[in-house]
């Protein structure tokens, strides 16, 4: 290795680097080239290792050449990087342009859940008859959910409500909104016209018509001289407002421990209108709620004298009302939160 050879090698390296830079398609290629030539194991570094073998007096000369070469290569790399970087920025800006004249996307509006929509409609209709909305607790004790409603601990009617218990002894998730009757009677003086909407819970096997969570709307009217006829007239008005004027209705005998007499309230089949079809199981009727005259025992538990006051109560499932109104066939849709389903309601 002599001085002339080293100088030639360095000049050749500059030439080669220049050619490679010209051919580099993008800044990433320039980056790679920089490492290849100037890096710790780069070609310039390797060439300069030869300096050690030169006589001492020649070394400063070579050092000067080497510094010039390094400077030249650095300059070329920098220039090419700037050139390619500008082109890359330019094309990126072109690709990412925002067209400010594009029309905006519509904002999706929320809608009421069908259970809520049905409850609002129920409250609106009974509101016209002077019924006021109250709330009562979702966690109840056994007394309010059962005993004060004339359902003693070992009463067989408990089988009607498969209960979910909480880990506070004697407490449970209410199986119906009827305990609200007791709360209202103990808080409000007659005349009472109360509506109690709320979530209820039952230990059920889930299928198209049973869920473990659902809403109920309870109605309670208490006054002097309230009759079953008043209940019938009110429910007729409700059915006509909810399902259409002129729809036929009927009372059937029913059974609830907290009402006497108890009834089931039916409306003519909304699908076939009477003759019978699969939707009404060929009966021509659809049951929309349970009701009855408040049992004297329940009035007494509510702190009212049954010799003076009479009342009626009714309880309905807004999901069932909604299913009848909108011809929905599966209760599970109400809990699955599928926006394609939910978005169809107001
Ligand atoms: N609580 C009853 C049920 O859960 C419904 C009902 C309410 C019946 C009020 C009569 C009176 O099925």
Residue 210 β-bridge partners: 207
Q: Atom of ligand 1 at shortest distance to CA of 290? A: 8
Residue by residue, pLDDT tens for the chain (346 residues) are: 677 887 888 888 889 999 999 999 999 999 999 999 988 888 888 877 877 788 888 888 878 888 888 888 999 999 999 999 999 999 999 899 888 899 989 888 888 999 999 999 999 999 999 999 999 999 999 999 999 999 999 888 777 778 999 999 999 999 999 999 999 999 999 999 999 999 999 998 888 888 899 999 999 999 999 999 999 999 999 999 999 999 999 999 999 999 999 999 999 998 888 898 888 899 999 999 999 999 999 999 999 999 999 999 999 999 999 999 998 989 999 999 999 999 888 6
User: How far is the CA of 17 from the CAs of 10, 14, 77, 80, 296, in angstroms?
Assistant: 11, 5, 9, 11, 104
For residue 131, give the nearest of 140, 119, 139, 141 by alpha carbon: 119
CATH of domain 114-342: 3.30.930.10
Q: How far is the CA of 256 from the centre of ligand 1 (A)?
A: 7
Residue 256 — φ and ψ, nearest 5°? Answer: -140, 140
* Cis peptide upstream of residue 261 (ω within 30 degrees of 0): yes
Joined tokens for residue 122: 């129920």
Is 313's C-beta closer than 6 angstroms to any atom of ligand 1?
yes
pTM of the complete model: 0.71
Is 178's C-beta closer than 6 angstroms to any atom of ligand 1?
yes
Annotated domain spans of the chain: 3-95, 114-342
Is 291's C-beta closer than 6 angstroms to any atom of ligand 1?
yes
Is 292's C-beta closer than 6 angstroms to any atom of ligand 1?
yes
Q: DSSP E strands: which ranges in the chain?
A: 132-133, 139-141, 171-173, 192-201, 213-223, 249-254, 259-268, 285-294, 310-316
Nearest CA to ligand 1 atom 6: 315
Is 214's C-beta closer than 6 angstroms to any atom of ligand 1?
no
Nearest CA to ligand 1 atom 10: 291
Is 318's C-beta closer than 6 angstroms to any atom of ligand 1?
no
Is 226's C-beta closer than 6 angstroms to any atom of ligand 1?
no
């Amino acid at each position: 290795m002599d001085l002339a050879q080293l100088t030639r090698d360095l000049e050749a390296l500059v030439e080669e680097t220049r050619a490679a830079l010209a051919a580099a398609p993008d800044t990433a290629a320039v980056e790679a080239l920089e490492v290849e030539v100037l890096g710790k194991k780069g070609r310039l570094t390797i060439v300069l290792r030869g300096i050690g073998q030169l006589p001492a007096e020649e070394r400063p000369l070579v050092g000067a050449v080497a510094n010039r070469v390094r400077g030249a290569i650095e300059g070329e790399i920098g220039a090419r990087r700037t050139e390619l970087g500008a082109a890359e920025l330019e094309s990126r800006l072109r690709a990412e342009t925002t067209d400010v004249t594009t029309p905006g996307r519509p904002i999706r509006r929320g809608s009421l859940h069908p259970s809520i929509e049905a409850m609002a409609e129920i409250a609106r209709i009974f509101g016209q008859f002077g019924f006021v909305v109250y709330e009562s607790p979702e966690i109840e004790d056994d007394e309010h959910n059962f005993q004060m409603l004339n359902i003693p601990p070992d009463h067989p009617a408990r089988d009607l409500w498969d209960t979910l218990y909480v880990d506070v002894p004697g407490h449970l998730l209410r199986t119906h909104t009827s305990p609200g009757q007791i709360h209202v009677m103990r808080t409000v003086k007659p005349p009472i016209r109360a509506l109690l909407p709320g979530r209820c819970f039952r230990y059920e096997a889930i299928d198209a018509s049973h869920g473990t969570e659902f809403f109920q709307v309870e109605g309670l009217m208490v006054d002097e001289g309230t009759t079953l006829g008043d209940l019938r007239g009110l429910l007729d008005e409700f059915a006509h407002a909810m399902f259409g004027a002129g729809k036929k209705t009927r009372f059937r005998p029913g059974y609830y421990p907290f009402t006497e007499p108890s009834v089931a309230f039916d409306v003519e089949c909304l699908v076939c209108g009477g003759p019978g079809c699969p939707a009404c199981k060929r009966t021509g009727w659809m049951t929309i709620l349970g009701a009855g005259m408040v049992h004297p025992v329940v009035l007494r538990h509510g702190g009212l004298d049954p010799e003076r006051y009479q009342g009626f109560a009714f309880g309905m499932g807004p999901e069932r009302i909604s299913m009848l109104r909108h011809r929905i066939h599966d209760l599970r849709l109400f809990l699955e939160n599928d926006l394609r389903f939910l978005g169809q309601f107001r």
